Structure 1
Amino acid sequence: MGSERLGEKLNISEELIKKSCSLAFKAHKSPDDLFHVEKYASGSSDVVFSFPGSWSVESWASGESAFGEKKIQLSLFPSMKSIGHYDEAAGPGGHQDLAIASFNQAFVQKFEHVLQNSQLKNKVQEVVNGKKRIVFTGHSTGGATAVLATIWCFENYPKQSHETFFCVTFGSPLIGNHIISHALRRENWSQYFIHFVMRYDIIPRILLAPLSSIQHEFKRILPFFDPNSPAYASESIGSSQEAFLLFRNVMRNAASLTTHAASKLQGSTNPLLETVKKFVKLSPYKPFGTYIFCTGNGKLVVMKNPEAVLQLLFYSCQLSSESEGARIVLKCLNEHLAYENELEGSLDMQCVAYDDNLETLPLASDGFFDDLGMSKKARLCLRAAGEFEKQKRRNQEKVGSKLEMITKHLKIIEDYRALCEHTVGYYKAFKIHKNKTDFDANLSRIELTGIMDEVIEMFTRYDLPDELEATKEWINLGTRYRRLVEPLDVANYYRHSKDEDTESYMKKGRPTRYKWMQRWLEYEQKLQTGSCGESCFWAEVEELHKLSGNFAAVYKERERVLRVQEQVGKWIQDGVIGKDVLLKSSTFEEWWSKLPADLQTETISLLVNGLGNVQA
């Protein structure tokens, strides 16, 4: 736990947070407006965009899925995916679906409506041009719109400083699955999303239950929050049977989800966990960014660990006894409207706890988590969430300790490539495989395969810090490894005629590690997926080489033949692959020299002739 002032920790002043809250509730009271824009203060460099919430069931639930979620269109939010998992060529299903973030469909539709039917784009551009910071804010579903607007700005203004955009929400519902948290952390955007949650506010927890299971009660409750409704803040609604049933259903579903999540955090391998998921539909929604829980007595608890936030959302809203049910249920509704008053006092008190060392959280009284009703079981779940994040850092250190070994073996293969540069090239030499140098290179290839497969498996399971997926160090290392070693994997594949037992290398033989590393580079350079195939073009050459002599078959593959040549020519000119590809008797030259003259491209002809002059 820390003593640093909240504003300093979050890089946004307490006064601006209060102003954001005030403007969020101002927008809340004008639900017919799409958004409001207001300067924080005269002469300030901060401009606040606030969005109103919506108070119909349709504004929360759209589509046919139980929880109202849908895979996002990457054209709108291209970063909202796991880079390594994502594969455009794979189409729907399998890992492809796991790679793309799911968002609440109704919230996205509302944001798209605001984007298309208002001056939001123009106003944002105006503020950006004026080199001012934008704070997006909203209460309830207005907070969901604010989140989407912030992500949209990060996506569309990549050259702006990350600190140009901030998002502060109050009582916002969850908006999507764990891929959002993963992507925001990877892009270094997560720290700019701040969510305030009152201890008993039901709205941030509402999507932990299937909307179909609470639709009737929710529809009856929503007028309580609607400032244009005669039933606004009505105690009769807050004390109704519908309110109690809504609370009970949400918390019952939250219990299933958090129990399942906690079991996985604690390393449970019980197969019943996955069996339960087949019969009990668990909410896909997960927290992201920084959560600030308001205890109700002036204290604040700051959480950045998404797994810990999920546990807190459940455990902080528990009944201590059945007799207090009616009081707590009314509190769950009232607190959704109480953020202004709560923050006015708590931000001044500066009685704040941070989740810096959750894995050592005391199981006994601590003065902060007591005020959120944290039982010993709850604290154990928070400890597990803290330990999970700490384990990711340990995994990072473990992988980092192998960099020296990786570099050593890459150097051996680089030396091997240099040795073969003036004979038949290292691809052909490795495929022939008759010298001790070939054997040594193969030992290094095998050693590197074990290390890299272990690393990629960690990425696949999200067992490494999310931000590692986009670091220069890993992109550069992965690219160097892929360009150097994959040609040897291709050579080994065709040397042992594995294509005859299964299918071609590109269809069945290409290891996951190379696909991940290729996507990292393509994502960093904003290139089309599949465009950086310089490490595996040999596989295509091998398949085309089989057609040599069969002119009918060669002409049938005309487009492919020409494309490979153009790609290789460009990669050689760009220095991505070496000119040894064109050596006399290399696999590429053997294939190319047997092509009909009208299929031999001018680019390769000039390069081959140029190399021949140099050799002569």
Structure 2
Amino acid sequence: MQTTNSKPLIITGNSLGGSVASLFTISLLEKFNFLTTKHPLCITFGSPLIGDEGLQEAISKYAAWNSCFLHVVSDQDPVPRVLVSQTGVYKPFGTFLLCSKLGCSCFEDPLTILLLLKATYSGNPENQDPNLVFESYGAFVKDLNRKVIFMDTTKSFDWTTPPLRAGIITQLVAIGLVPQQQPHNIDINAIITKTEIQEKKLALFKKQVFDPSRKLNKVKVHMANLEWYKKMAKDNKIGYYDSYKNESHTSDLDVVIHMKTLTCYWEELVNEAEKRPQTVGASLRTGWLFGGTNYRRMIEPLDIADYYNKGKSDYINRGRPKHYIKLEQWLNETAKPAGVPNDSMKQNVASILTEDSCFWAHVEEALISCKLLTGTGSSEMEKQSSRDSLFKFENYAYGLMKNYTVSPEIFLQGSSFMQWWREYEKIMGTSYSSNLTKLMKDYRNYDKYATGSL
């Protein structure tokens, strides 16, 4: 989304209207181009909290988003406090500007905000009049418009007070928490100490805030190591899927380290993107989605090998991790429908990763079907189901070859796909003919496919 005005877009609302303003701003954020458009600014007055901890974390971890929200709260207004309960379901995000007759002060830490929302409410019956509360916000806006500057007259600390604690005391006095005037049920020193602890945690959090771009270049090194492993396995005429599956070399053990590092990164990134308020198809930026697609196509086959090595079955429906599903879903939301293979696809087929990262799961299921067909303990119903599955796999595999979307490594003699083909050829006999069998029975087609000339 772009705005032609040089001024930023400001969304505002009072009370429940403030909640609507926040939700509307969240819906806009994914559509804004932050490089060319000024950030929208949402200013609420007396708005109740919205969203749980997941929403609060999703927004707070992105400074560009968190800075778009300013929530003004008067010490006379009960509405912002109605959802502040012991259960802690609702969590604040953005900056809160807490106001009193003495002044105002800003706070960002969610736990500090919840603490102060409870402690600063005056709660006098005469302040329940919504008109009076609304007037207090009007007076606050007028003061800002006049650029009123208040001099700090705090006498609650001496020169030995640490700067952070002194600053917190000044803030609390500005929002009406004057130590000498507090009721006995409010421990002002405890509030100061808790606020000080949370401010230190907030400063540390801002240094460690999740930043995918900061780590993306590092994980590329692990991908490069896996590319080398893939090439080495191909030179050994087996393919990297089966090399890892069979643990043919000591280097197969080194692959586990790269796998774990990459998986931790992408699991975290997918979780953050999923929690972050988003529009359909805008979950990840193009660069990250491209990297995630390469990761999925490179690493998921190895997870499939681990899965079937444990004697399990039906990986796609029973064992596939969520982050692979989401990465594939987001790619499908943004990718153009596949068409007829072009010259570029044919020329580069030798170096591609198989587009369907679940290809090897289909191969493993086809091998299981072959065993059921040739086994003595299978019922006629199981055998018929296995035949149907094999026919489906045959058409599936031929479709990938026809579109040049499967790696030619599947034709290496040591691959599980070739193992399936040899078993399938015996089962179906020499008289059976189909598009796939015609292709597979002529060994020259393997090289032709690899050069894009099939």
Superposition TM-score, scaled by structure 1 size: 0.51
| Structure 2 residue 362 is the aligned partner of structure 1 residue 540 | yes
Q: Which residue of structure 1 lines up, in the alignment, with residue 116 of structure 2? A: 312
Inter-CA distance 497–169: structure 2 relative to 1 (3 Å threshold): closer
Q: Which residue of structure 2 lines up, in the alignment, with residue 97 of structure 1? A: none
| Structure 2 residue 145 is the aligned partner of structure 1 residue 340 | no
- Greater shift, 451-460 or 364-373, is seen at 451-460
> Separation in 1 of the partners of 2:150 and 2:398?
65
Q: Which residue of structure 1 lines up, in the alignment, with residue 258 of structure 2? A: 448
Residue pair 1:134, 1:166 contacting (<8 A) in 2 also: yes
Q: Which residue of structure 2 lines up, in the alignment, with residue 430 of structure 1? A: 244
Q: Which runs of 5+ in 1 are unaligned?
A: 1-124, 209-253, 257-281, 320-324, 354-358
CA displacement, residues 337-391 of structure 1 (integer Å, 9 cap, x when unaligned)? 42111221145125699xxxxx984178632222332823223333343344444
| Structure 2 residue 315 is the aligned partner of structure 1 residue 505 | yes
Q: Identify the match of residue 198 of structure 2 among 382, 385, 399.
A: 385
| Structure 2 residue 177 is the aligned partner of structure 1 residue 177 | no
Q: Which runs of 5+ in 2 are unaligned?
A: 153-161, 179-187, 278-282, 339-353, 374-382, 426-431
Q: Residue type of the partner of 1:448?
A: H
Q: Which residue of structure 2 lines up, in the alignment, with residue 199 of structure 1? A: 75
Q: Which residue of structure 1 lines up, in the alignment, with residue 226 of structure 2? A: 413
> Separation in 2 of the partners of 1:559 and 1:134?
58
Q: Which residue of structure 2 lines up, in the alignment, with residue 303 of structure 1? A: 107
> Separation in 1 of the partners of 2:438 and 2:48?
60
| Structure 2 residue 315 is the aligned partner of structure 1 residue 483 | no
Larger Rg: 2
Inter-CA distance 396–482: structure 2 relative to 1 (3 Å threshold): farther
Residue pair 1:202, 1:332 contacting (<8 A) in 2 also: no
Q: Which residue of structure 2 lines up, in the alignment, with residue 516 of structure 1? A: 323
Residue pair 2:66, 2:93 contacting (<8 A) in 1 also: yes
Residue pair 2:233, 2:243 contacting (<8 A) in 1 also: yes
| Structure 2 residue 166 is the aligned partner of structure 1 residue 369 | no
Residue pair 1:490, 1:539 contacting (<8 A) in 2 also: yes
> Separation in 1 of the partners of 2:28 and 2:151?
30
> Separation in 2 of the partners of 1:382 and 1:566?
65
Residue pair 1:199, 1:294 contacting (<8 A) in 2 also: yes
| Structure 2 residue 432 is the aligned partner of structure 1 residue 557 | no
CA displacement, residues 466-509 of structure 1 (integer Å, 9 cap, x when unaligned)? 79x95778656655444333322322333x3431xxx4434554
Q: Which residue of structure 2 lines up, in the alignment, with residue 293 of structure 1? A: 98
Displacement of 1:137 in angstroms is 1.9
Inter-CA distance 326–185: structure 2 relative to 1 (3 Å threshold): closer
Displacement of 1:451 in angstroms is 3.9
Residue pair 2:74, 2:137 contacting (<8 A) in 1 also: yes
| Structure 2 residue 425 is the aligned partner of structure 1 residue 588 | no
Displacement of 1:301 in angstroms is 2.0
Question: What is the alpha-carbon root mean square deviation over aligned residues?
Answer: 4.9
Inter-CA distance 387–331: structure 2 relative to 1 (3 Å threshold): farther
> Separation in 2 of the partners of 1:560 and 1:488?
23
Displacement of 1:614 in angstroms is 7.4
> Separation in 2 of the partners of 1:133 and 1:603?
62
Q: 3-state SS of the aligned residue for 1:194?
A: strand
> Separation in 2 of the partners of 1:141 and 1:200?
16
Inter-CA distance 597–547: structure 2 relative to 1 (3 Å threshold): farther
> Separation in 2 of the partners of 1:396 and 1:135?
26
Alignment of 1:55-70 (within 5 A): none
> Separation in 2 of the partners of 1:603 and 1:352?
86
Displacement of 1:427 in angstroms is 1.0
Residue pair 1:363, 1:376 contacting (<8 A) in 2 also: no
| Matched residue count | 389
Q: 3-state SS of the aligned residue for 1:288?
A: coil
> Separation in 1 of the partners of 2:291 and 2:6?
36
> Separation in 2 of the partners of 1:424 and 1:352?
77
Residue pair 1:561, 1:599 contacting (<8 A) in 2 also: no
Q: Identify the match of residue 326 of structure 1 among 124, 129, 137.
A: 124
Q: 3-state SS of the aligned residue for 1:378?
A: helix
> Separation in 2 of the partners of 1:566 and 1:296?
76
CA displacement, residues 263-304 of structure 1 (integer Å, 9 cap, x when unaligned)? xxxxxxxxxxxxxxxxxxx2522222232222333x332233
Q: Residue type of the partner of 1:345?
A: D
Q: 3-state SS of the aligned residue for 1:287?
A: coil
